[in-house]
Amino acid sequence: MRIRSYFGLWLGRATKFALRISGRSGTSLPGLVAGKLAPHLLQDLMTQLTDCVMVTGTNGKTTTTAILYAFLSEDTKWLTNRGGANLHQGLLATMLGASTLSGKLLVKKAVLEVDEATLPKITAFFHPTAILVTNVLRDQLDRYGEVDQTLRLLSEGTSYPGTALVTNGDDPLAMSLGIHRSELTYYYGFTHSPEVTTTRADVRDGAFCLLCGQELVYDYFIYGQVGSYHCPNGHFQRPVPDFGGQYDGITGQLLVEEFKSRPNPVFAIQSPVRGIFNQYNLLAAISVARVLGISPSKIQKGIVNYEAPTGRFQVFQGTPSRILALVKNPTGANSVLRAIEEDENDKVVCFIINDDDADGRDVSWLWDINIEEFFPRSVCKSWICAGTRSLDMALRLAYAGVDRNSIKVVEKLSQLVDATSVNVHTVYLLSTYTALYPLNEILREGVKNG
C-alpha cells in the first residue's frame, strides 16, 4: 500500500469512529474524507478482493444487491454497501469498515452496488469477477444528459473480457452491452410473462435499433422498453436467455430454466418481492449466483435471509398499514404503480416529490409517469402530494383526470401520518430519494405512537 493510503485509511477510520461516538451513522463521510486525502486508497483495498460482484444499471440496483447478498452470505462472509452508497466514497466507506489499521482487508469477498457513472472509474484500476446490469432506462436527465451517455459509460465499464457480464436480455439497451463481447457474457430474461401488454404507452427510450436507428419491432412488452424485440433490418434481437424465468403470480414462485447448460437445470424459488420489475431483480440475482457456481439449493435457502432495503416496498405494519416505495424515474414509477394495481382493496396513494440534486432537479419526468393508465384501475380513495414539488405532482394528477377535490397537498412530511390515518386497507407512499430516509423515520415513529 502507498504511504498516502495509510494516512487516508487512518483518517477514514477516525472519522467513522468520531461519527459513531457522536451517535451519527454517515454512510459515505469516512470514505469522502479518506478518498480526498488518499485517492488510491480504494484501489489498494479493492485489489485485495478475491471475489467481487458489481451491480449496476438504472433501476433495481439496491434490491438486486440485497437479494444477491442474501444468497452469497448464506455460509460465507461477504461485504456489501447496504443503503445504496454507490459512489466512490460510499464504496470506500464499505471497504474501510472491513480493513485493519495496517490496510489489510479482512473480508475478501464483496457484492457492491455501483453507480453507472462510477463504474468505469473503478474498472479502470480493478476488474471484478462479475458485473450485473439490471437495465438501462431514462434516469435523472440533468445528471447524465442523455441515456446514450449512460450506455457509453456502461460499455466502457464492462469492456474487460475477463470479467463476466450478466445482463438483461429483454432490455435492448442493457443487452447491447453484450454484443461486442464473446466470452463470459450471460443473458437473463422472462420466457413467459405474467402480464403481456402491448397497449401500454410506457416510456420506451430504448425502442430503437442502436445500429440503424429503426424502431424495434416487439412481439410483446413487459414494462418500459423491456420485452421481446427485434430490429426489422436484422441487426439484433432478444437473445435466447441463458437464464430464463417464468413467474407465477398466484403462487409467487419463480421458475428458473438454464437454457444453455447441458443438462439444463430447472428449479423454483419462492419470490420474496412484489411486482414484475422485482421478479427481474430476483432473476438477475439468481443468474449471477449461478454464474458464480452457487447451487440452486443454496439459493433456495439463502432467499429466506432477504430483507427489503429502505423504500423498496418496505412495509410498516399498522392500521392502516403503510408501504414505502422509492420512485426516481418514470419507468420505475410505472412499475411500482403496476404492482399497486394488483391490490384490489380501497387505498390511498401518496406522492412525495422533492427536487434536490439527488432526486434530479428537473421534474419533467413526472409527466412520463403513466397516471392515465393507473388511475382507472387504482381503486384509490384519495391522493396526497407532498415534498418541494407537491404542486407539480398535484397538477400531473389533475391533468390525468383525477378529481381535483380528491387531491390533497400537505406542506410537511410529518403531516403524512395524520393525513393517512384513514379507514383503508393500505396506504402507498411513493417517494423520491431525499424524502425516503426522513419518511422511514416518520413512519416508524408514527406506527409506534399510532
Residue 233 contact among another protein, Zn ion, none, beta carbon within 5 to 8 Å by kind: Zn ion
Say how far apart CA 108 and CA 362 lie, in whole Å: 40
Residues 231-270 touching Zn ion, rule: CB under 5 A, are 231, 233, 235
**Does 108 sit near another protein (CB under 8 A)?**
no
**Does 93 sit near another protein (CB under 8 A)?**
no
Q: Return the C-alpha cell found at 160.
A: 474487460
Residue 179 contact among Zn ion, another protein, none, beta carbon within 5 to 8 Å by kind: none
**Does 361 sit near another protein (CB under 8 A)?**
yes
Place of cell 480504494: 42
Of 233 and 295, which has the nearer Cβ to Zn ion? 233
Contacts of 42 (CB under 8 A, 6+ apart): 35, 88, 91, 92, 95, 122
**Strands (DSSP E) found in 125-274:** 130-133, 164-168, 185-192, 217-223, 226-230, 243-248, 253-258, 266-270
Amino acid, res. 169: G
The CA-based dihedral angle spanning residues 197, 379, 336, 329, taken in that order and rounded to the nearest 10 degrees: 90
**Does 17 sit near another protein (CB under 8 A)?**
no
Q: Choose the binding region for another protein from 173-181, 263-271, 311-319, 388-396 (rule: CB under 8 A).
A: 388-396
**Does 395 sit near another protein (CB under 8 A)?**
yes
Of 226 and 443, which has the nearer Cβ to another protein? 226
Of 207 and 413, which has the nearer Cβ to another protein? 207
**Does 216 sit near Zn ion (CB under 5 A)?**
no
Say how far apart CA 329 and CA 360 lie, in whole Å: 9
Strands 109-113 and 51-56: parallel
Contact 280, 287 (CB under 8 A): no
Q: Choose the binding region for another protein from 68-76, 204-212, 296-304, 376-384 (rule: CB under 8 A).
A: 204-212
- Integer-rounded Cα radius of gyration of the chain: 22
Binder to another protein among 162, 213, 293, 376 (CB under 8 A)? 213
Say how far apart CA 341 and CA 380 lie, in whole Å: 10
Backbone phi and psi for residue 226, each to the nearest 5 degrees, phi listed first: -85, 130
Residue 399 contact among Zn ion, another protein, none, beta carbon within 5 to 8 Å by kind: another protein
- Residue of 166, 140, 170 lying closest to 154 (CA atoms): 166
Of 239 and 387, which has the nearer Cβ to another protein? 387
Residues 128-167 touching another protein, rule: CB under 8 A, are 141-142, 145-148
Q: Choose the binding region for another protein from 57-65, 81-89, 317-325, 364-372 (rule: CB under 8 A).
A: 364-372
**Does 209 sit near Zn ion (CB under 5 A)?**
yes
Say how far apart CA 432 and CA 354 lie, in whole Å: 6
**Does 212 sit near Zn ion (CB under 5 A)?**
yes
Question: What is the closest distance, in whole angstroms, from the C-beta atom of residue 239 to Zn ion in the complex?
Answer: 15
Residue 142 contact among Zn ion, another protein, none, beta carbon within 5 to 8 Å by kind: another protein
Residue ranges in contact with another protein by CB under 8 A? 141-142, 145-148, 204, 207-208, 213, 215, 361-368, 388, 391-392, 394-396, 398-400, 404, 407
